[in-house]
Structures are given as C-alpha cells and as structure tokens.
Amino acid sequence: MIKLFVFLGNPGRDYTKTRHNAGFLLSDELYPYTKWSSKFHSLYAEEGGKKLLKPLTYMNLSGTAVSECTTFYKLKAEEIMIIHDDLELPLGEVRIQKGGGLQGHNGLRNIKERVGSDQFYRLRIGIGRPKFGDVRNFVTSPFSKDEEITLQQVFTLAERMLRNPETEGVSKL
C-alpha cells in the first residue's frame, strides 16, 4: 500500500510552470485547498490518510527530503510513489511503474541513492524530448499555451491512475 506521494519539482518563481515541475503542478491540481507545512526540507501535508511531499531541495537533491520522511515514518521503498516529469514519454502519456531504469533522471537517481532502493512506484508524466537544443533548457522552460491545455487533460488521466496506484500501466490521450 502506498503511504507517501512525492511530487517532484523545483522551488521558486523561475520554475513555477516549467516542464520539470510537472509533479508540483499535478499536486497543485489535485490538492488545491490542502494546507502544507514545512517539514523534511519540503512542503508536507496529510490528506485522506496519505502523506504528501513536495521537496524544496531542488530536483537533483530530492533524495534528501524523501529519505528524511521515509526514515521518520519507517516507510519502505514499496510504499512510496514518486510523481515526476519524463523526457522519454511524449506529452499526453502517463505511466505507472515500480522500479526500473531511471532514464538519466537525476532526481530519481538521488532518491534511489538516499532511500537505498529503486523499488518505489513512479507516476511518469510525459513531457517529450526536444528535437533540437539542450535538454536542460527544455525541461526548465515553460509549457506553451497549447501544451498547458494538453497538460490539464494529462492531469485528469493521472488522477484516475492514482486512484489505484499499485496498478502498473500506461494511459494516453
């Protein structure tokens, strides 16, 4: 049973509506009235029996926040769902999986190192890969207006998938 939902992103105004903040954006969509407090180097809340975490350590150091929370609550990797952007999936696709390759995602790599396992669940929100240009600039750039419309539809898919989070699978628009 998943007890901790971790929404990845980067803190600060510069990153608010960027592709790398897909996790933060989904949490804002799903929990608009939740009262978050500062705990575990994160914004932390409990909602409907779930522990929610938005690490404020920047993406690449997310493992610090996740390991503090999992240690405090004595959680196993299998009880964690990490919600994050994914370059390897096209915009409009959402996938749940347990464990598996990290596809170069430094935030996930840091979580694996700090938690000591990659057997956590992941909700992968496709953001696509740029055809040209630097990946770092792409993930830290905002969604276009058309992409924001698609993203709202993606969030509806993600919400449905999170109702039964241990079921691995893919949803596409």
- By annotation, the residues acting in catalysis are 20
Residue carrying structure tokens 């952007």: 85
Q: Looking at the DSSP assignment, which residues form a beta bridge with residue 51?
A: 4, 46
Rounded Cα distance between 72 and 93, Å, is 34
8 close to 27: Cβ distance less than 8 angstroms:
no
What residues form DSSP beta bridges with 39? 42
- Minimal CA–CA distance to 66: which of 3, 159, 124? 3
What is the rounded CA–CA span in Å between residue 1 and residue 81?
10
